Amino acid sequence: MAKQDEIQVALLGIGVIGSGVARTLLMKGSAYAEQLGFQLNLRHILERDLHKADEVPVDRGLVSDDPRTVLDDEAVDIVIELLGGERPAYDFIKEALSSGRYVVTANKEVMAKHGLELMALAQEREVDILFEASVGSGTPVIGPLRRDLSANEITSIRAIINGTTNYILTRMSKEGLDFDEALRQAQSLGYAEADPTNDVEGFDAAYKVAILASLAFHTHVQPDDVYREGITSLNARDFRYAQELGYGIKLLAVARMEEDGVDARVHPSFVPREELLANVDGVLNAVQVEGDLLGRVLFQGPGAGPLPTASAIMADLMDAARSVAAARAGRRGDRLPWRAGRPLRMKPVAELTTRYYLRMEVADQPGVLAQIARCFGDHGVSIASVIQKESDEVAQTAELVIMTHVAREESVQKTIEEAGKLAVVSRIGNLLRVES
């Protein structure tokens, strides 16, 4: 029988993050009780691999591999979902909300794909779903977007929201490493998974910016709406040239509200060295939000790890617990309602206008630059500067580094396609967009 002066909590998943949350509840339970005025009681732990619980000092009687044991217990007030992946996490979250429980989750995939539906369901059932840890780990940004910045019309978000890729790019920049070597270093330190695809190809960041854009612009941005490029094509030369030209290279997640729709994308970008985002290094995350009243504000903090993530989850849990206690006392809970506006047009990347960096390998002979400049001119792309680098006397080739003036993405892509067919062009090395 549950006690009235306790809030009953069910934890779904006891992996790296889940075990951190369980330990935090056990170690700091009395401190939280003093702060809240009631006890947070860990009533159930759901885990398919029961042996994972052996590493956490919890009562083994709390641990079950049967979802029904957990979800059918009417005494549970709050469900913390830390299973990861879309299914069965989405089904469990939806069932918990439908039965009138609060939900705390770190699941970026579920919130990116189903967040609008789940927030509407929570509102209908007069509960809430809290998901601070789904984007910035220990860096608070969801709460500020839902509450502190709600009086603003948000116009843009630019973010570094994947600690793995930011660590890799930092090592490439500071130590001159190529991608493969920097990735191996990240893996050896536990910053990158054995299969790093989700991080290095930009899927993780695309989920997160879809969540941020949905909240900021009061619409539903799906992950598939976000243009995505990863960092695997970058090499040490790109970082040398970036530094020479006054830039850093970051995997940026960008969302902008424009007159003709929402621009949402994830890709490596040249960022001017004087900007704060260019100097966010290692596994740190940073989210820069711009609103009509506040102007620009930057949130920065740890982007990965069990303790920073547990910090965000526990803060959400305490908010949910206060609302449960308020409802028991007949008061209205401090829920954060969110309403979607009308669907907005998602702009294709072909409509992007910005400056570009292009690296290409060409024949080291007279007249080459004229041919390449003609390709640019034919598509209305203006060249701002050209630098010839590192001639290879044996192969009789040279590397050109081209910076453009502001141009349209569609025109730049056509230019590259045509230039790549020229006999004097050996290889198109890399194309990066400039964000400033």
Nearest to 267 by CA among 400, 433, 390, 147: 433
Q: Note the pTM of the prediction, 2 decimals.
A: 0.93
| 269 plus 369 within the same structural domain | no
| 298 plus 310 within the same structural domain | no
pLDDT at position 308, please? 85
Point out the catalytic residue in the list 108, 208, 250, 347.
208
| 110 plus 126 within the same structural domain | yes
232-to-179, 196, 235 alpha-carbon distances in Å:
7, 11, 8
| 289 plus 157 within the same structural domain | yes
Residue 262, domain member (yes or no):
yes
| 69 plus 107 within the same structural domain | yes
Quick check: helix, strand or coil at residue 371? helix
Residue 347, domain member (yes or no):
no
pLDDT at position 335, please? 62
Residue 345, domain member (yes or no):
no
| 31 plus 42 within the same structural domain | yes
Residue 190, domain member (yes or no):
yes
pLDDT at position 18, please? 92
- The domain spanning residue 202 has which CATH number? 3.30.360.10
Note the pLDDT tens digit of each residue in 89-111.
Answer: 999 999 999 999 999 999 999 99
pLDDT at position 389, please? 80
Does residue 414 carry a catalytic annotation?
A: no
Domain boundary among 294, 328, 362: 328
Counting the structural domains of the chain, the total is 3
| 123 plus 160 within the same structural domain | no
How many CB atoms sit inside 10 A of residue 33's CB?
16
- Residue ranges making up the domain that contains 423: 352-434
The CA distance from 394 to 396, in Å, is: 5
Residue 70's contacts (CB-CB under 8 Å, 6 or more residues apart) are 10, 12, 44, 46, 64, 76, 79
The CA distance from 223 to 102, in Å, is: 25
User: Which of the residues in the chain have pLDDT under 70?
Assistant: 1-4, 333-338, 392-395
| 412 plus 426 within the same structural domain | yes
Residue 359, domain member (yes or no):
yes
pLDDT at position 159, please? 97
